[in-house]
Amino acid sequence: MNAILKPRADSGIKAWDSDSERLLCTMVLSDSADVKTFCFQTEQPSWFRYQAGQFITLQVEIEGVTHTRCYTLSSSPSRPVCLTITVKAEPGGKVSNWLHQHLKVGDHVQARGPSGIFSVQHSPAPKYLFLAGGVGITPLMSMTRWLFDQGRHTDVCFVQCARTPSDLLFRSELEAISARVSEFRVALVCERPNPFGAWTGYSGRLNQLMLELIAPDYFEREIFCCGPEPYMKAVRGVLQAAGFDMARYHEESFQVPVHVDAETRQHADEKVDATQTSVLRFAASGREATCSGTQTVLDVAREAGLSIPSACLFGVCGTCKVKKISGEVHMLQNGGITDEDVADGWLLACCSRPLGDVVLDC
């Protein structure tokens, strides 16, 4: 399931994977009135290695200030010569509106990644249910393209929810896949129809009755959900009320912590000694700083004048991942790092507190 066509080792083309690099914008596509897809390649020939559903972190300079944002890839790793992100111009969104208004073909942006564990490649299953709200469709579109390009029959029910039919994204592509692959079914749900024109899909907001009509076997499916937090909260409510096994439910959000509950936070607080002082050493820069038990690694790094890239600030996005050489930390994370990474000594600076002296490779 993880096979990806790769260039020959002697071709001179390298893989881009977890490095910070300038990306070249090669194409800008309009998907709707307020959504655009931006296509990127590297300046030097390379191919992109990532998992379907992962994201990259962009750094853009606006009016002399550097801003960092995470954007899920809408492209598929099965098509490795180009990356795409699909971005909605959010009201008041500084970076999203700057991208829409200023980023053009030939421009460059700094990017880090790929990151994230929201992917079917982490949860193989015979049957999937994809629930997309608005522009949250991007990681699910990446997974759909990847599954389709595998050339294997995978049972997928794809539910896209939007405000109006004009806001539906990738509709023609989804319907084309559905027309060719009998196991791939698409259901479109709109809160209201367009003022002019007929609408024959589902109307209103997704609810339990609607879900049972669309996917009566949803209890048998692995569910992946992405969208605005109110949408995902509503989906969680529907599934929990129905008694769905939430261990088979996966969601992505850069807005609020999704896994840390009150009990976990209380346990974390018990491990933190506010009176304890530790020395944090940054091996690569040769700097060190004294910190209290309540400070995070990211807090201390900033006070020491070091710039560790960060975005969500609560352990979801994984942007602030750094390597620990020695020492112990308590990390209250929400899925932005894998167990394998932790075993290899990586930590998330935004939600890790030193438990004594610590040395970091940064």
**Burial environment of residue 243 by CB neighbours within 10 A (0 to 12, 13 to 18, 19 or more):** exposed
Rounded to whole angstroms, how far apart are CA atoms 318 and 263?
23
Nearest to 296 by CA among 283, 278, 323: 278
Rounded to whole angstroms, how far apart are CA atoms 169 and 217?
25
pLDDT-derived band at 210 (thresholds 50, 70, 90) equals: very high
Contact 147, 140 (CB under 8 A): no
In sequence order, what E strands does 256-318 have?
Answer: 277-282, 287-292
Rounded to whole angstroms, how far apart are CA atoms 290 and 279?
5
Q: What is the 3-state secondary structure (H, E, C) of 220-255?
A: HCEEEEECCHHHHHHHHHHHHHHCCCHHHEEEECCC
Lowest mean pLDDT among 86-95, 178-187, 239-248, 327-336: 327-336
Report the SS3 class of residue 54.
coil
pLDDT at 80 over 60: yes
pLDDT-derived band at 321 (thresholds 50, 70, 90) equals: confident
* Encoded tokens for 60: 């853009």
* Global model pTM greater than 0.85: no
SS3 content of the chain, % helix, strand, coil (to 5): 25, 35, 40
Q: What is the mean pLDDT of residues 334-357?
A: 83
